[in-house]
Structure 1
Amino acid sequence: MKKLKNEAQLIKKAMQVGETYAQNRGYAAFSAQTSANKKVESLYRLLVQDKLVVALPPDKEDLPSMKHKLAIWIDKMLPEDHPLKATG
């Protein structure tokens, strides 16, 4: 798994956009007590369910891989001229 340029910032952006997406799909907002790891897993599973992200093989489902999938998803969603856009 090759890290993307600005991967940490892409994950943060994916979390913001993903939470809004989940709310628009009718899910309740995450509480202040929900851990970041739980949010990552929940958003990953929602995006897989909606076929916006290709699911990881069950034996490869771990937190770093889920975060990487979220980063790839948001990178594809960003316009080409966005400052976080991975260029190499």
Structure 2
Amino acid sequence: MKPHKHEAQLLKLALEIGIGYAKKRGFEDFDKGVSPKDKVECIYRLLVTDNLIQPLAKDKEDGPNMKHKLVLWIIRHLPADHPLLQ
């Protein structure tokens, strides 16, 4: 798992878009007390449920791998000339 140059910013963008997607699906916004770790897991599981990303192997389902999977998901949806992909 090679980290991307702008991994933190890409993860933040993936969470923003993932939360927007969840709202469109009818979910409520996260409470202010919800940790970033829990947000990552919720968005990851929603995208897996909707078959938008392939699930990780059960023994690989941990925070860093879920974050990386979200980063890969957002990279595929950004235009090639996006500043975070440079």
Q: TM-score, normalised by structure 2?
A: 0.96
1:38-80 CA-to-partner distances (Å, cap 9, x unmatched) read 0000000000011111100000000000000000000111111
Rounded to whole Å, the distance in 2 between the matches of 1:32 and 1:81 is 33
Name the counterpart of 1:50. 50
Name the counterpart of 2:63. 63
Rounded to whole Å, the distance in 2 between the matches of 1:50 and 1:2 is 26
Rounded to whole Å, the distance in 1 between the matches of 2:5 and 2:71 is 10
Partner SS state of residue 84, structure 1: helix
User: How far 1:20 moved relative to its partner?
Assistant: 0.3
Name the counterpart of 1:17. 17
2:32 is matched by which residue type in structure 1? A
Name the counterpart of 1:83. 83
Q: TM-score, normalised by structure 1?
A: 0.94
User: How far 1:23 moved relative to its partner?
Assistant: 0.3
- Which runs of no fewer than 5 residues in structure 2 stay unpaired? none
User: Which is helix-richer, 1 or 2?
Assistant: 2
Rounded to whole Å, the distance in 2 between the matches of 1:84 and 1:27 is 28
- Which runs of no fewer than 5 residues in structure 1 stay unpaired? none
User: How far 1:5 moved relative to its partner?
Assistant: 2.3
